[in-house]
Structure 1
Amino acid sequence: MGIIQIVVVIAILLLLVKPVGTYLYHVFSNEPNRLDRIFGGFERGIYKVSGLKNREGMSWKTYALSFLSTNIVLVVFGYLVLRLQGGLPVNPNGITELEQTLTFNTVISFMTNTNLQHYSGETGLSYFSQMTVITMMMFTSAASGFSVAAAFVRGITGKNSLGNFFEDFVKAIIRVFLPLALLVTMALVALHVPQTLKPTLEVTTLEGAAQQIAIGPVASLESIKHLGTNGGGFFGANSAHPFENPSPLTNVIEILSMWMLPASLPYMYGLFAKNKRQGWGIFAAMMTLFVLLLSLNYAAEIKGNPAMADLGIETSQGSMEGKEVRFGVAQSALFTAVTTAATTGSVNNMHDTQTPLGSITPLALMMLNNVFGGKGVGLINMLMYAVLAVFLCGLMVGRTPEFLGRKIEAREMKLIAVAILIHPLIILAPTAASFLTDLGQGAISNSGYHGLTQVLYEYTSSAANNGSGFEGLADNSTFWNVMTGIVMLLGRYISIIAMLAVAGSLIRKQPVPETIGTFRTDNGLFTGILIGTVLIIGALTFLPVVVLGPIAEHLTLR
């Protein structure tokens, strides 16, 4: 039954890819379509108020500067609100301001679409902060990523320009996230997810004790949390909390919400390239990697903990430690794989309690940093590996590599090398540095191999802008708030700027006519080469540390 549940959800996703990808193409193609009649009036009003009457195409530098400046303004606004929340309205529970380094970590986390939380939402933030900072940044960070992805796709497919960031930003919010968030919010409210501004409830238990039950505007945050692949929870327990995720049905809705848009972007790319096979090839590579790692997690968790089996304890239900009974192993494993493959970061089970082999799946999906990915970034990363694969194949046969009719030369490869190498650097270097200081080691709650995995997971989640936590690390300290904040910044912006520069370089090149010797990138052979490229680079950079952590822990349990 567990496998059937997983297959059904994947089948539903496959049915959604084409219509959603087509819709996204119409949103970002900048060609007149029926959507203009529905949303055009709202957008023109926004353009008029903001002074964007002339929305000309931008160079890659102007696009990147617009992206960065918008994010900086939102970070400043968010920082001020969180520091002053104690005196701001809509704070019925009287919650005071966040500490300075925690505020820094929080605003960076949500603006980079990471949503790593070193605080507990129901006790750390007021309703005003949850709505005006957290929910707002969930919309804007996702829209920023979508905009960059649209610009990158226009660049490599040879459109006239990368587009206008502010126009893409507004369209992403008005035409994609707001309508979908409204629909998902209504569905979650109908399925008993709270949506209220009432203060914390005081109830009396059957034993006569007083108990505080936190509530709030949960459903609205929950919808954009998953649609925007944000992942930050209203409650500290995230989607394992029954108010955020009360039933198996809401669990499936949340899985599809965070998976649907990233999985549809390759199809949108195929429409831009005027070659749907290109899009399906990228999607096939993503899905193959996903299924392989999902299978590892499910097999490890359903088998259970070997140390428990040695004690003669029944493990027919698999390893249920840290999992909700209402979901079981199958929906927990699927949620774990989707939330890390789509760099969402929400969790419906505690990854710290997974079996050692099972914990390899979320780690590997974040380390590869391109399996579906967050809002737009996953597609960009996979296309980056596609360009690298073409370049390597060109070297092997002695031809100048070409991708979508444009020559791949030294400038593009240097930028891609920067984007590829920064990811392992900002994971492995801080991990090593944290073991050299008492400030880093003092947060570790487990000794030995599991303690190494805790630290490695924290930085991998930060660098991949995922935000899920291993939850065994005492990370709300000045050291961890600052270190992970810096890693999140580097992980988000260096690769995006580098890939925008690649798009700006390719769009200026004259297309090369296709010949009999042109290496095809829209067939099964190239999909296999692409998967191999991703796995080889991932293994070369991360396999040693994975062996020192989860694999070594598994061998000791045996």
Structure 2
Amino acid sequence: MSTAAAVGQVATVLVILAAAYIPLGDHMARVYRGDRDLAVERAVYRIARIDPRRPQTWKGYALAVLAFSLISVLLLYLLQRLQGVLPGADGKPGVNPAMAFNTAVSFVTNTDWQSYSPEQVMSNLTQMLGLAVQNFASAAVGMAVAIALVRGLVARRAGTGLGNFWVDLIRGTVRILLPLAVIVAIILLTQGAVQSWHTGFDYTMLDGRDARSIVGPFASQEAIKEIGTNGGGTLAANSAHPFSNPTPLSNVVEIAALLLIPVCLTRTYGTLVGDRRQGLTLLGVMATIWTAMLAVTWWFEAHATGAAGTAAGAMLEGKEQRFGIPGSVLFAVSTTGTSTGAVNASHDSFTAGGGGAVLWNMLLGEVAPGGAGSGLYGMLILAVITVFVGGLLVGRTPEFLGKKIGRHEITLAALSVLVMPVLVLTGTAIGVLLGSTTDAQGNSGPPGTPGSIHGFTEVLYAYASAANNNGSAFGGLTVTDTWFQTSLGAVMLFGRFVPIVLVLALAGLMVRQVPRSAAVTSTLPTHGVLFGVLLLGTTLLVAGLTFFPAMTLGPIAEALL
């Protein structure tokens, strides 16, 4: 692919995002701030006996999130276990308990980690009724939590509630996710993506042997997995399969789709707080990280190393030639920066530097721009920490949007940031110590050899993906045994819901405060270049100090060999 075509791909994605930024961002602000309900929403409220005008405290909001998610896990688990006796099974039996648990947790937590080949294990009914439904629901949960935190920050009266979770969940699904998914699905259909109620068709190969091609509702589920930053594919090849992602244009549309809501939520944030400079500052930090990671990964993948890469002229292993290196790298950086996890190339086949870069992208906390909702509340937590550090530097009480950041507030923010590193490093440490892990690694060998180093990176990537609710993987690690199914499932649960509870608790503390007068200058303006630089530095420093030793043992050491 020529340089002009490669730059054109990036430019097209940016143009789509720029065109959607103001209208979609403001639309989402109206959705969550408005008082009027649609007829279909009122019907759901009546059936579910929900009072949409009843605000919830942070505890009530958190309990609603956890209760809804727990029920979702149980229902999705049962659907998988009973798959063999349900309509449309196409001969597929029920999913085994460990895999069903891992998958249920994965999709409810917006991770969409898949330890199976979808076309071989899941029926179309399970895909549509179970997995696709959770693609909508889990994304709507993340967006609701982000909006609840913003409400806590902007509340002008002490004791005001954080809103109603059920209203936020339903509005986010009906008014935002569903319309966007329909639009993207239609675009994918025009490009040749498959959308079928059939399970497959038989054909005869050139050598006379019979074979079967799997088909299903791929276009619709491809759309919501990108819009909702979910990532779970209906095919083992994920977004590299021509049935789901047939052309370079569909590839660009899918990349734009997975970035759309996280990027536009910064506009929503600025609109809700009444100062759009706040949102632009967050967007600037996100864009800086995304651009830097794209440049670094692209450089590593474009420079051939090794005998095979040198002979081919570029690092083409594991990449779909319809997209080339630029389309593969653009997708990889965007998917690991948004907790999406969808892939159109094998990350395990990236160079040591390129694979390390996309791993680092997740270890930053996936805030560039992050998942649907989770990116915004993750960046706001880092902004709170930045304000606190800035206040210490000048010796004044730190404030964020006119509200003080005291001991309790910074404790919750710090704990929220620490959850992911604890899960990643603990899971990796236990995993590499287990004797069975060596057998699960596609690359292994004596300590210090390239194989053993890459094997360590595979394990680190797996737990980083699970703790950050990403879902992508280095394909060289087999995770179908009970240990990986259970431990990764637990990491996904804690990595999703412990930060959510802490974020809502912080929102509960903030909503109790009456903001200081606008005439009173806070410790540090939370908009502009200065704050953006401090926020960027805080983001990089937190990840750098935490994960640099682990990165040194893995991709950095491999790149230097």
TM-score, normalising length: structure 2: 0.95
1:153 is paired with a residue of what secondary structure? Answer: helix
Matches of 1:104 and 1:435, distance apart in 2 = 23
How far off its partner does 1:314 sit? 4.2
Unaligned runs of 5+ in 1: none
Could you tell me how far apart the structure 1 residues matched to 2:332 and 2:522 are? 43
- Which amino acid in the other structure matches residue 26 of structure 1? R
Partner of 1:360: 356
Post-superposition Cα deviations, 1:511-550, rounded to whole Å, max 9, x if no partner, equal 1224346421111100000000000111000111111111
- What residue is the counterpart of 1:533 in the other structure? 538
What secondary structure does 1:313 align onto?
Answer: helix
Query: Would you say the 8 A contact 2:140–2:173 is kept in 1?
Result: yes
Q: How does 1:191-202 map to 2 (within 5 A)?
A: 191-202=191-202
Q: Which amino acid aligns with 1:451?
A: G
Identify which range, 80-89 or 543-552, moves more after superposition. 543-552
In structure 1, how many angstroms separate the alpha carbons of the residues matched to 2:110 and 2:129?
16
Assess if the C-alpha contact under 8 Å between 1:439 and 1:479 holds in 2. no
- Aligned residue number for residue 497 of structure 1: 501
* Aligned with 2:67 (options 58, 66, 69): 69
Contact 1:110 1:137 in 2 (8 A): yes
Aligned to 2:553: 548
Asked whether the 8 Å contact 1:156–1:506 carries over to 2, the reply is yes
Aligned to 1:88: 86
CA distance in 1, matches of 2:20, 2:442: 42
Q: Alignment partner of 1:193: what SS?
A: coil
Q: Which residues in structure 2 correspond to 1:151-162 (within 5 Å)?
A: 151-158=148-155, 160-162=160-162
Pairwise mapping of residues 285-324 of structure 1 onto structure 2 (< 5 A)? Answer: 285-308=285-308, 313-315=311-313, 318-324=314-320
- Cα-to-partner distance string for 1:23-51 (whole Å, 9 max, x where unaligned): 1101111345xxx5xxx111111111111
Percent of counterpart pairs with the same letter?
A: 40
State the match for 1:232 in structure 2: 232
Aligned residues: CA RMSD: 1.3
- Look up the match of 2:447: none
Residue 442 of structure 1: aligned partner: 439
Cα distance in 1 between the residues matched to 2:266 and 2:212: 46
Q: Which runs of 4+ in 1 moved over 6 A?
A: none
Unaligned runs of 5+ in 2: 445-451
1:246-395 paired onto structure 2 within 5 Å: 246-308=246-308, 313-315=311-313, 318-369=314-365, 370-395=367-392
> Aligned residue for 1:59?
57
Q: CA deviation at 1:21?
A: 0.6
Partners of 2:7 and 2:304 in 1: CA distance: 16
Q: How far apart in 2 are the matches of 1:30 and 1:511?
A: 23
Between the aligned partners of 2:335 and 2:408, the Cα distance in structure 1 is: 34
Which of 10, 16, 19 is the aligned partner of 1:12? 16
- One-letter amino acid of the counterpart of residue 323, structure 1: K
- The answer as to whether partners of 1:115 and 1:232 remain within 8 angstroms in 2 is yes
Checking the alignment, whether the CA contact within 8 Å between 2:232 and 2:342 is kept in structure 1 is: yes
**Contact 1:145/1:375 (<8 A) preserved:** yes
Q: Distance in 1 between matches of 2:438 and 2:311?
A: 33
Structure 2 residue matching 1:213: 3-state secondary structure:
strand
Q: Which residue of 2 aligns with 1:139?
A: 136
| Structure 2 CA distance for aligned equivalents of residues 459 and 263 of structure 1 | 26
Deviation for aligned residue 1:420: 1.1
2:465 to 445, 461, 466: 461
C-alpha separation between the residues in 2 aligned to 1:54 and 1:177? 20
After superposition, the C-alpha distances for 1:441-467 in whole angstroms (9 at most, x for unaligned) are 321110221111100000000000000
Structure 1 residue 306: Cα displacement: 4.3
Q: 2:211: which partner in 1?
A: 211
Counterpart secondary structure, 1:145: helix
2:448 matched residue in structure 1 = none
CA distance in 1 between counterparts of 2:102 and 2:52 reads: 36
For 1:425, the aligned partner's letter is V
Q: Answer yes or no: is the 8 Å Cα contact 1:342–1:372 preserved in 2.
A: yes
Looking at structure 1, the residues matched to 454 and 255 of structure 2 have their Cα atoms a distance apart, in angstroms, of: 28
Distance 2:554 2:7 in 1: 28
Distance in 2, matches of 1:457 and 1:527, equals 29
Find the aligned partners of 2:439 and 2:417 in 1 and give their Cα distance: 31
In 1, Cα distance between the equivalents of 2:35 and 2:52? 16
Q: Deviations over 1:306-328 (max 9, x none)?
A: 4546xx6241xx21110000000
Q: Could you tell me how far 1:8 is from its partner in structure 2?
A: 3.0
Q: For the residues of structure 2 that align with 1:356 and 1:469, how far apart are their CA atoms?
A: 15
Q: Does 1:126 align with 2:123?
A: yes
- 2:145 and 2:373 in contact (8 A); partners too: yes
Please give the alpha-carbon distance, in whole angstroms, between the structure 1 residues aligned to 2:218 and 2:522.
56
The answer to whether the 8 A contact 1:440-1:480 is kept is no
Query: In the alignment, residue 511 of structure 1 is paired with which amino acid?
Result: P
Q: Is the 8 A contact 2:399 2:522 kept in 1?
A: no
Secondary structure of the corresponding residue to residue 202 of structure 2: strand
Structure 1 counterpart of 2:354, one-letter code: G
Report the secondary structure of 2:211's partner residue: strand
Amino acid at match of 2:263: A
3-state SS of 1:442 partner: helix
C-alpha distance in 2 between matches for 1:516 and 1:282: 20
SS of alignment partner, residue 201 of structure 1: strand
1:99 equivalent in alignment to 2:96: yes
Call closer, same or farther: CA 1:215–1:519 in 2, change over 3 Å: same
8 Å Cα contact 2:403-2:514 kept in structure 1: yes
Measured in 2, the distance between the counterparts of 1:425 and 1:441 equals: 23
Residue by residue over 1:109-138, the C-alpha shift from the partner in whole angstroms, topping out at 9 and shown as x without a partner, is 000000000011111011111111111111
Which residue of structure 2 lines up, in the alignment, with residue 79 of structure 1?
Answer: 77
2:303 & 2:537 partners in 1: Cα distance?
28
Give the Cα–Cα distance (whole angstroms) in 2 for the partners of residues 288 and 360 of structure 1.
18
Residue 475 of structure 1 deviates from its aligned partner by: 0.7
1:361 deviates by 2.2
TM-fit CA distance, 1:439: 2.6
Q: 1:171 deviation in Å?
A: 0.2
Aligned length: 545
Deviations, residues 404-448 of structure 1 (Å, cap 9, x unaligned): 000000001111111111111100111011111113332111022
Instruction: Please say if 1:21 is aligned against 2:19.
Output: no
Cα deviation digits, residues 259-278 of structure 1 (max 9, x gap): 10011111100011100000
Equivalent position of 1:523 in the other structure = 528
Q: Distance in 2 between matches of 1:444 and 1:122?
A: 23
Q: Is the 8 A contact 2:13 2:253 kept in 1?
A: no
Equivalent residue letter for 1:358: G
**Which amino acid letter does the alignment assign opposite residue 462 of structure 1?**
A
